[in-house]
Structure 1
């Protein structure tokens, strides 16, 4: 299967929502925090959030995996730039200022878990979101989306960061990520691993 990686266009944002909801249809945290009993409201919320991030976050880069003209996967990478002191920074939203979640969401659970993740990834290059349609999982789309971001990380000599549930840790380790900390959401006995890939010296121009 040939997967083409391209920038995502703003009008394709609703497709990200469709892919996310299918890809995370059995994820314990996603189901608990964002129940599927009001799918129209939930879909609208995710679409609005993705659209706001696409348009307002200077570090955000949305990319898509295409197969025969169909979007089958997408990723959101946050790519920092160097400030006047030479330090990498993302800028953007304050991780301690959470978004407004949909009315039927479990607000406390979402804030506790997602707020922890946001504080971990702030001011570093990170893979914030990646999702693949179930029927295309395991066929290389996610790998290409990850490698797209890692090529940039190597060019700017940045560490790369992501979070992984227990099922996907081994997959990310193939790309050089290692676990630096585990976080367990006790309410769900849900483990999330914070993973880093070391910065690499680059011979390419930034």
Structure 2
């Protein structure tokens, strides 16, 4: 990924709930954040895949009250309300019937379905290993994206703090899976790294680590 140009203004960052109208720019933001040869096989940069993501996220917003989308916008005169970061938080009750593998719809025709099954299946198995075969209730940070030029300005902090505060209020653990690059960020918010999971996908080696934030004891 090319080095982004530094901002020439001071952003005014505002956190709010995302709406259906925000889904297309959120999809575009996802592709900005997740761009490498492996992701290009899982979710090619094509109109069909953009439509797939738009439909999947819209279905979450319309039909799954447990899935919450947040956005951070830059409300400065220069930012003009642009979405510069987003997160998807899932609020899971213990013993849900819905399988962890089904958090995304059936793969698009242009995706490498085999690779998708391997990757997301491994994440689901690791989540069960950490949280139990019939996973206990927890709060799951499903997606987190920040525009490159807005990183290290507090966007991720707003998105992560919101979910951690909700987890504390509910007395639940918070969970996220991430690459090594995300480790310092999540540990700053009290997430504890679990056993790293090494995998090979399409000839590429990668390591994913699950992070668990202990539940806050309720008084």
Partner SS, residue 181 of structure 1: coil
- What residue is the counterpart of 1:83 in the other structure? none
The answer to whether residue 203 in structure 2 is matched with residue 198 in structure 1 is no
The answer to whether residue 91 in structure 2 is matched with residue 118 in structure 1 is no
Distance 1:170 1:78 in 2: 22
Which of 162, 166, 173 lines up with 1:159 in the alignment?
173
- Give CA deviations for 1:27-65 in whole Å, capped at 9, x if unaligned: x542232233xx211111111111112222231011111
1:10, distance to aligned residue in structure 2 (A)? 1.5
Once superposed, which parts of structure 1, at least 4 consecutive aligned residues long, lie more than 4 Å away? none
- What residue is the counterpart of 1:56 in the other structure? 63
Question: Which deviates more from structure 2 when the two are superposed, residues 141-150 or residues 173-182?
Answer: 173-182
Instruction: Give the alignment of 1:64-143 within 5 angstroms.
Output: 64-68=71-75, 69-80=81-92, 88-89=93-94, 91=96, 93-97=98-102, 99-119=105-125, 120=127, 123-143=137-157
Partner SS, residue 89 of structure 1: coil
Runs of 5+ unmatched residues, structure 2: 1-10, 76-80, 129-134
Partner SS, residue 196 of structure 2: strand
Q: Is the 8 A contact 2:42 2:112 kept in 1?
A: yes
Distance 1:144 1:106 in 2: 34
Runs of 5+ unmatched residues, structure 1: 81-87
The answer to whether residue 31 in structure 2 is matched with residue 24 in structure 1 is no
RMSD (Å), alpha carbons: 2.0
1:184, distance to aligned residue in structure 2 (A)? 1.9
Q: How many residues align?
A: 193
Question: Which deviates more from structure 2 when the two are superposed, residues 7-16 or residues 97-106?
Answer: 97-106
Partner SS, residue 102 of structure 1: coil
Question: Which deviates more from structure 2 when the two are superposed, residues 188-197 or residues 113-122?
Answer: 113-122
1:126, distance to aligned residue in structure 2 (A)? 0.6
Q: 1:90–1:5: structure 2 CA closer, same or farther, 3 Å change rule? A: farther
Q: Is the 8 A contact 1:153 1:199 kept in 2?
A: yes
